[in-house]
Amino acid sequence: MSRAEDLPVLRRPRRQQILPGFGLTMGYSITYLSLIVLIPLAAAFLTAAKLPLAQWLHVLMAPRVLAAFRLSILASLAAALVNAVFGLLIAWVLTRYEFPGRRLFDALVDLPFALPTAVAGVALTTLYAPNGWLGQLLAPLGIQVAFTPLGVVIALTFIGLPFVVRTVQPVLADLEPDLERAAETLGAGPLLVFRRVIFPALLPALITGSALAFSRALGEYGSVIFIAGNIPLVSEIVPLVIMTKLEQFQYGEAAVVAVGMLLLSFAMMFAVNAAQLALQRRHQARR
């Protein structure tokens, strides 16, 4: 591809920044960003930094905190995997098939984004409680959802679904139909076409969507606390541990756990961005 910059004759004069307002908008943006986001976030790091290292280890290695981290990570992972499978299936059905109520179901996918988490929390708890609509059906099978780690996974699955569907959907809609037609012409059945042609193209979006669902699940609070029962060592998530320490006025300890969590979240954010860049580069190189 030849770009205009490569051809001296065609080069446009370097655009000067002639529009007014750079100082004002940039200055305002930076100030507002610092006041609302950066300085308060720094407070968590600085408060935690005041504690000696031994105290840090003591806080983070406490069985209750360790158990909470394990539950938060494993439950978020499980929910992300469920969403990867069903999110892909739902994105496929909504993009490729026409059926009565499709538009309604398509709009419904965004419900977890729009519904306040506390509302989702009380609704899910009522549904899955032993006497609830779904809890009643599961109880004879010996499956208890409410007030167990399984409840945490259910709530996190609810929260994460739109991330996968909404990330995969546009990629699926923009796939080249000719590729699939060519594969079909060459004798590939629908499953083979999906496995060899469609799935590889969707994989980056699927991974991104699942990673986003995972990150969101890690910090989720409102939808989980009602259904989890919050039993220490069993069904207590990290955000709740922070909340408990805060209620006991242990600001330093709360800040330490928060910093542990923030580092995990920022690492996830960084990994998602890096993975996407790498996949994009690999893809462009292949072109």
Considering only residues 135-164, where is the footprint of other proteins by CB under 8 A? Answer: 157-158, 161-163
Rounded to whole angstroms, the Cα distance separating 251 from 241 reads: 12
Nearer to other proteins, 66 or 89 (CB): 89
Rounded to whole angstroms, the Cα distance separating 76 from 219 reads: 9
Rounded to whole angstroms, the Cα distance separating 231 from 71 reads: 12
Contact call for residue 134 and other proteins (CB under 8 A): yes
Per-position x/- string for 160-189, each x denoting binding to other proteins as judged by CB under 8 A, each - no binding: -xxx--xxxxxx-xxxxx-xxx--x-----
Report the residue from 10, 118, 231, 274 that binds other proteins according to the rule CB under 8 A.
Answer: 118
Residues 29-88 that bind other proteins (CB under 8 A): 29, 32-33, 36-41, 43-44, 47, 86
**Planar angle of CA 225, 236, 251, nearest 5 degrees:** 90
Reference 151, options 129, 176, 172, 173; nearest CA is 129
Alpha carbon 284 to chain centroid, angstroms: 26
Q: How far is the CB of 137 from other proteins (least distance, A)?
A: 11
Q: How far is the CB of 86 from other proteins (least distance, A)?
A: 5
Residues 199-228 that bind other proteins (CB under 8 A): 201, 204-205, 208-209, 212, 215, 218-222, 226
Nearer to other proteins, 2 or 17 (CB): 17
Q: How far is the CB of 245 from other proteins (least distance, A)?
A: 9
Nearer to other proteins, 75 or 94 (CB): 94
Contact call for residue 266 and other proteins (CB under 8 A): yes
Q: How far is the CB of 202 from other proteins (least distance, A)?
A: 8
Q: How far is the CB of 187 from other proteins (least distance, A)?
A: 13
Side chain identity at residue 129, one-letter code: A
Q: How far is the CB of 168 from other proteins (least distance, A)?
A: 8
Nearer to other proteins, 55 or 117 (CB): 117
Instruction: State in Å, rounded, how far the first CA of the chain is from the last one.
Output: 12
Largest CA distance in the chain: 79
How many Cα neighbours within 13 Å face the side chain of 27? Answer: 4
Q: How far is the CB of 54 from other proteins (least distance, A)?
A: 21
Specify whether the CB–CB gap between 25 and 17 falls below 8 A. Answer: no
Three-state secondary structure call for residue 169? helix
Report the residue from 190, 199, 233, 234 that binds other proteins according to the rule CB under 8 A.
Answer: 190
Residues 16-35 that bind other proteins (CB under 8 A): 17-22, 24-26, 28-29, 32-33
In the 8-state DSSP scheme, what is residue 231? -
Cβ-Cβ contacts under 8 Å for 83 (sequence gap 6 or more) = 157, 160, 161, 163, 164, 209, 210, 213
